[in-house]
Amino acid sequence: MYVDVHAHIDVESFDGDRDLVLSECEITVINAGVDIKSNLKTLELYKKYNNVIPAVGFHPEFVKDKLDEVDKCLELVDNVNIISEVGIDYFWIKEPEFRKKQLEILSKFLDKGERQRKPLIIHVRGGINDLINLLSSYNVNFVIHAFEGSPSVAQKIVELGGMISIPPVIVRDKYRQEVVKNIDLNYILTETDSPFLPPQKMERNKPCNVIFTVKKIAELKKIEEKEVIRQIHENFTKKILMK
Ligand SMILES: [Zn+2]
């Protein structure tokens, strides 16, 4: 059974073939909401598909224009077991006051995750040190989704008790390949971030493309694919389902 710990299959580009996309391989998909509308859509998908697990959050890119949605998104967390998409994005958001706001919002989700014992699947683009500082004062299970840092930063994440999630774009991304070589498989998860980050440029990404990630991990670690699939599933059960 494959695992996609971070996807956005609620988006319009899946309206025509969502059933097919969710059934073309044996997979469990965590769908991450990014604002009120997509959080609600995520909860609907959960009712319809038994291999979709809902996650609710507030995307840091919306810190400027959807700030009024934060409280409602926080409230919706009470309906799910996983918090996502949350995080910080210094690539798109340059103003210090809005970066500070992102950290404040993330703190609120971290508070909730800690109190309700729910894992967080976190987006970070730039600002990794701010994120590490913030995370070190919380006792939560967390995953850095589509991790794009160096092996030494990945090591820091692992030391803090976090997990690193790898998208299929790894097939053409030497930096992520280095990370996978250097980090123990016990701390790695697979995802797609569908419809983004496809294995080949300009394609629409889809959950079953985690197969490409698994193949690449097996090649880099010099182990069998079925062992990668088994260990990733075990990591997912322990760290995200917390069973
Ligand atoms: Zn995402």
Distance 156 CA to ligand 1 centre (A): 22
Backbone angles phi, psi at 163, to 5 degrees: -120, 160
Structure confidence at residue 30 (pLDDT): 98
pLDDT tens digits along 116-133: 999 999 999 999 999 999
pLDDT tens digits along 203-233: 899 999 999 999 999 999 999 999 999 999 9
Residue 199 pLDDT level (bands cut at 50, 70, 90): confident
- CATH superfamily, domain 2-240, is Metal-dependent hydrolases (3.20.20.140)
Q: How far apart are CA 108 and CA 221, in angstroms?
A: 37
Backbone angles phi, psi at 145, to 5 degrees: -85, 145
Residue 4 pLDDT level (bands cut at 50, 70, 90): very high
Q: How far apart are CA 7 and CA 167, in angstroms?
A: 10
Distance 150 CA to ligand 1 centre (A): 20
Asked if residue 114 belongs to a known ligand binding site, the reply is no
Q: Are 98 and 62 a contacting pair, CB within 8 Å?
A: no
Percent residues over pLDDT 90 in the chain: 96
As a whole number, mean pLDDT of residues 36-52 equals: 98
Q: How far apart are CA 2 and CA 4, in angstroms?
A: 7
Residue 27 has pLDDT above 90, yes or no: yes
Distance 196 CA to ligand 1 centre (A): 8
End-to-end, the C-alpha distance of the chain in Å comes to 17
Residue 139 has pLDDT above 90, yes or no: yes
Residue 202 has pLDDT above 90, yes or no: no
Residue 11 has pLDDT above 90, yes or no: yes
As a whole number, mean pLDDT of residues 29-43 equals: 98
**56 closest CA partner among 126, 108, 93:** 108
Residue type for position 108: K
Q: Are 169 and 147 a contacting pair, CB within 8 Å?
A: no
Residue 242 pLDDT level (bands cut at 50, 70, 90): very high
Distance set, CA 91 to CA 88, 97, 123, 125 (Å): 9, 14, 12, 6
Q: Are 59 and 37 a contacting pair, CB within 8 Å?
A: no
Asked if residue 104 belongs to a known ligand binding site, the reply is no
Asked if residue 85 belongs to a known ligand binding site, the reply is yes
Distance 192 CA to ligand 1 centre (A): 9
Structure confidence at residue 173 (pLDDT): 93
pLDDT tens digits along 55-99: 999 999 999 999 999 999 999 999 999 999 999 999 999 999 999
Distance 89 CA to ligand 1 centre (A): 12
Distance 195 CA to ligand 1 centre (A): 9
Asked if residue 6 belongs to a known ligand binding site, the reply is yes
Distance 67 CA to ligand 1 centre (A): 18
Distance 197 CA to ligand 1 centre (A): 10
Backbone angles phi, psi at 100, to 5 degrees: -65, -40
Strands 163-166 and 142-144: parallel
Distance 122 CA to ligand 1 centre (A): 9
Structure confidence at residue 201 (pLDDT): 82
Q: How far apart are CA 9 and CA 18, in angstroms?
A: 7
Q: Where along the chain do its domains lie?
A: 2-240
**53 closest CA partner among 69, 36, 74, 31:** 31
Helix axes 210-221, 225-235, angle to 10 degrees: 110
Distance 193 CA to ligand 1 centre (A): 5
pLDDT tens digits along 142-184: 999 999 999 999 999 999 999 999 999 999 999 999 999 999 9
Q: How far apart are CA 122 and CA 145, in angstroms?
A: 6
Percent residues over pLDDT 70 in the chain: 100
